[in-house]
Chain A
């Protein structure tokens, strides 16, 4: 390859788009490293504290698209205090100062202030795309700044963020000259929006392909929007409550029928189930259907809807679909690849409406199934073994039995054998979440068979340190390990500290690790940040090494201790 001039190599590298591949390319030799870094436009940083903005900019001056993730995954379940960290401001500030031509910013679980959004909107002339997932810290004022200042904005995608909605006219801040929108998703906003401004915005956005509305957008506005944007591919309906005999409903039926390109449907944040027939004409083309925000839709109406969706590849649904409803899915959705069944009543464990039966039905009817998130009442080993046989292609398998230490109700045994069958059969499994009564045995199986496993979530499982050791020794590709309420202690933690440098992060909460154990890891591995999160002020007064640590989060980093940790986080 020395015979080729740099431009040729650059051209070849243009075809290499995956982050993993580009990272590998950069390791071949110095000259490839150099060419790769100047030509790299997209960078993914899975842990914002593993590197600094300055080093990022120094290495990749041509950066156009940055993806950053902040808080650990368990933050989604209130296990991480709000101000733990993950602030995006320093990144935007650094990028702005160095005149990077940023065009796209994708953030997950980060704290985003209005100040950051304003700075972002004013610093990058060609800024095109902002995607915020599970973020917090901003208000609609920040959105107004983005709308007003990003002249070539194509994408504003807000997914499940906590936004302080000032009910301002942020939508009206899009100037008349803004006609470039391709994707607009504000479903997570709780406040009113200026409906007239929304209609005008959609009217002047001929390239709009994805539109997800919030609860405050009523049906008659929806109908007007659909009339103006029949080219939509992805639609999120806000409010879907109306009178089936009204003029508005008739108009809606007509409008929907014109939208022949819709492949993805979500929302229904408010729904009147007796009016779903208007949707039937587009169901036959849907590849993604998300009804997980619509508890009012169940029983026969739901099943009838599903029966129209023969091309579904991804289905997100609530457990009120029931095992019977899942049977309908199994008969109808032969192309199904991904299924997510959410709990409609998460804190009443006795009321979950799906059991192992529904899952078995889907596994039998949908051979292409490769991704599962399933909240259920109970699970049996026999069912898991059957599922493993029917669907050997699982890449993601996340099972959540609402009572987390529930055994197989038929045999009263732990679910070790069932999960064992899953890992043995699904050779490509990358992500696994366990629940139910589990002993060390299941971890032996995971260590033995889950060769491609990258992320593992464990809760209320195992009998001893052996469980954790089986996993650390066996899963060579493990990147993220998150554990809560398991009897794993210092012996497991300290067995192979070098392993943690090959991983992105390790989370352990309510386990048996002690302060002394955590200190030992920190001492042996300067390339790791070992954080102790303790809000109870115990750490202030009692620095006994034998004391058990409530929450520990460790991650590899190239830039040492972070400076923005709050009081209750100790970095050892």
Chain B
């Protein structure tokens, strides 16, 4: 616990596998996921830890230089300092991707595939339609509906001209 806290102040997370054993029981192994993580988010501009944990010697000397006046730092040095602390800049993290094109393309592809499957089914899977769909049957059905005066006010039979035996124009 004390070791973890001391390490946290320094901002390091190098204790993932090596563990100090104390008092014969040992400190619980700290798994990676339990340690503070770095992530670039718009709503969390300053993550808990620096991006680069293990600094090279030039980075270390740059960090020392940072303690002095910042006006003496060149642009490259400032960018280098930024990249030590952060992975992506806001512009980089906010950039969109062209992934949506692949998604839409995939959608259309599967629509097409499904269409082919449906056509094949109609031809090879489904049996004949009921006999009540035949032409003569349908003609008789239609005549029966007109004889019954189905929906005579505003619906079906209202469109039929009973005098001239034809549909109303």
A binds B: no
**Which residues of B come within 8 Å of A, CB atoms?**
none
